[in-house]
Amino acid sequence: MSLDIALHHAFGTFELDLSFSQSDKGVTALFGPSGAGKSLTINMIAGLETPLSGHISLNNRVLFSTRDRINIPSYKRRIGYVFQDARLFPHKTIKQNLLFGAKRTFPRPSHTEIEDVIAMLDIEHLLDRFPSKLSGGEKQRVAIGRALLRQPDLLLLDEPLSALDHRRQHDILCHLETIKADSKIPILLVTHSMDEVSRLADDVILLKDGKLAAQGSVYDITSRIDLLALTGQFDAASTLNGIVKAHLPAQGMSLINLEGNKIYVPQLDKPLGSMVRIRIKSRDVMLSKNSPTDISANNILPVTIQDHKQSDQMHVDVQLRLNRQIFLSQITTKSWDRLNLQEGMSLYAVLKSVQLL
């Protein structure tokens, strides 16, 4: 494991009592409602806050331990941190901001490594400017570059997209996907957005009131009925993975293999055999006892009802199994009763829309 923590902290009426381990690769999302303790947790990991008790280790190196009286200063922890508001030095140029991170690192990144980060984030044209002349998205790209040039063992991202408009959010997400694919640095991402979780995260740590509510893969967490109150009852959506099977340019579509079933999506610019993530909103899944014919929906899947839960007086959340993968549907209580649905029943899921991530 890359990161292992057990923390206890309290102030006022809030108490944080949290233990978890994070893999040494990929993106782990720290998710939960406001006030759950997400930012406090990563501030303690970074060394910006000191817990009352506990321990923090990264790659088997102890960063904090009350038992052993260890508290490594933040600048010696080899952790990169990207804040919500970038926090660039206003009196330094962008190049100077980037090199500030590199100068505090040993061994220092080579000229080639610095150039690679600049190219990856597409910020070469910004190097001689000052932060006041940059857009919010440009500032965040520079902040990410500065954090990467510290050559960290862990990259912390504290809601890096929340202050940006939709277009700039998309831009930063694309860069984060590149970092995830090209870098071996594990990332711990704090976010309020399940869209970001579904698109970026491999694993999810779910917090509630300073405690660990659940931990698992993004596929597991987004398909659990018992967690909908935390992951989003109204906007519930499941994350699945499929493989690009064919491109159909005459129809402007691509064909995805999803557990041996066909899913049609808008045409992709991806090679055959590529793995893709699919997000399905529970409100976009209709259920039918018989295989529907003569309908406009292209995507119909044979599924089994695994579980269900009354979400409110009007709605029922239904957990559906498609071979090895699980996703959710939300239907009305009236429909559940009218169709006489039961757990274990085989039926068909009609997908009104599918979102590619």
What pLDDT is stored for residue 166 in this prediction?
Answer: 80
Residues 230/49, Cβ–Cβ less than 8 Å: no
Three-state DSSP at 291 gives coil
Average pLDDT of the chain, as a whole number: 92
Query: d(Cα 328, Cα 307) in Å, to the nearest integer?
Result: 10
238 pLDDT exceeds 60? yes
Count of C-beta atoms within a 10 Å radius of residue 202: 16
Mean pLDDT of 221-231: 92
Count of C-beta atoms within a 10 Å radius of residue 116: 14
Position 237 confidence tier, pLDDT thresholds 50, 70, 90: very high
Q: What percentage of the chain exceeds 70 in pLDDT?
A: 99
Q: Which amino acid is at 97?
A: N
210 pLDDT exceeds 90? yes
Position 1 confidence tier, pLDDT thresholds 50, 70, 90: low
Residues 163/136, Cβ–Cβ less than 8 Å: yes
Residues 308/326, Cβ–Cβ less than 8 Å: no
Residues 46/7, Cβ–Cβ less than 8 Å: no
Query: d(Cα 18, Cα 9) in Å, to the nearest integer?
Result: 9
Q: Which amino acid is at 30?
A: L
Place of tokens 């050559």: 151
Mean pLDDT of 55-70: 96
* Residues pairing with 248 in the sheet: 253
234 pLDDT exceeds 70? no
Question: Which of 308, 279, 105 has the alpha carbon at shortest distance from 196?
Answer: 279
- Tell me 58's DSSP state: E
What is the pTM (predicted TM-score) of this model?
A: 0.90
* Residues pairing with 329 in the sheet: 318
214 pLDDT exceeds 80? yes
104 pLDDT exceeds 80? no
What tens digit of pLDDT does each residue of 171-184 get?
A: 888 888 888 888 88
What pLDDT is stored for residue 100 in this prediction?
Answer: 84
Work out the angle between the directed axes of helices 111-120 and 136-148 (0-180°, nearest 10): 150
What tens digit of pLDDT does each residue of 326-335 get?
A: 999 999 999 9
The encoded tokens of residue 207 equal: 């917090």
What pLDDT is stored for residue 233 in this prediction?
Answer: 66
Mean pLDDT of 236-246: 95
- Tell me 343's DSSP state: T
Domains of the chain from N-terminus onward: 3-221 (3.40.50.300), 237-356 (2.40.50.100)
Cα angle, residue 251 at apex, residues 249 and 252 outer, rounded to 5° = 60
